[in-house]
Amino acid sequence: NITNCTFSGNTASYRGGAIWCADNSTPTITDCVFSGNSADFGGAICCYESSSPTITNCTFSDNRATGSYGEGGAIYCKSSSPTVDNCTFSGNDANLDGGAIECYDNSSPTITDCTFSSNSAQYGGAIHCQNSSSPTVINCNFSGNSAQFRGGAIYCKSSSPSITGCTFSGNSAGWYGGAIFCRDSSSPGITNCTFSDNRADYGGAVYCSYSSSPSITGCTFSGNSVNWYGGAIYCKSSSPTATNCT
């Protein structure tokens, strides 16, 4: 177990700036602080090949995924499904995908009661999901996260996360999906979430494209904005379902 530790300014040239978990590793990481760490994949923590750590009450700030393909500013998951509970992610950055968390190749972490603020990437300012990765995201707050291109808070590609009871406020994308971007047959379930003051060129809150079919239930949309089309939701070659929304 790793408890009450501080990891600051550590660097890996490839994976896991502070901690590297591989080959079915399951460490418990509790009450730790990760700040200013960097690597190409997983600025603070890299979970690889069926590794599923439990990460609780930790703070991740100003960690970075570097290099031209940098993914997962704080945490990178490949074929792994960590449990992340009651953690704070602020000011983390990825040069490419997942300013805070990258989920890749059948990674499906459970992320509960976490706060994501001012994280940034080209795609997926806070969380990036691809290649059949479907995280469960419950009771999280996303505020002020930004993507240079798509998915200010969450980006889904061929993935179908479950997003419940979350708040999205003031997130932004330069192009598509101020809060959530879905493409390539992604079908996230978005339930009892609040979207306010998010912005993009297209799809101020949610953008759906290329056979993506999100199910949006019991959500509230207010004050979201775009430069072009779809102040709240934009659909292109997609079939979302929206029920009992305001």
pLDDT at 236: 92
In 3D space, the residue among 88, 89, 86, 87 whose CA is nearest the CA of residue 98 turns out to be 89
Integer Cα distance of 73 and 213 in angstroms: 28
Longest dimension (CA), the chain: 50
Rounded average pLDDT over 61-67: 96
178-229 pLDDT, tens per residue? 999 999 999 999 999 999 999 999 999 999 999 998 999 999 999 999 999 9
Beta bridge partners of 5: none
Q: Which residue has the tokens 């949309």?
A: 221
User: Would the pLDDT of 9 be above 90?
Assistant: yes
In 3D space, the residue among 160, 152, 109 whose CA is nearest the CA of residue 132 turns out to be 160
* CB-based contact 93:66 (threshold 8 Å): no
Residue by residue, DSSP assigns 209-236 as ESS---EEES-EEES-EEEEE-SSEEEE
User: Would the pLDDT of 239 be above 90?
Assistant: no
Q: What is the number of residues in the chain?
A: 246
93-139 pLDDT, tens per residue? 999 999 999 999 999 899 999 999 999 999 999 999 999 998 999 99
151-185 pLDDT, tens per residue? 999 999 999 999 999 999 999 999 999 999 999 99
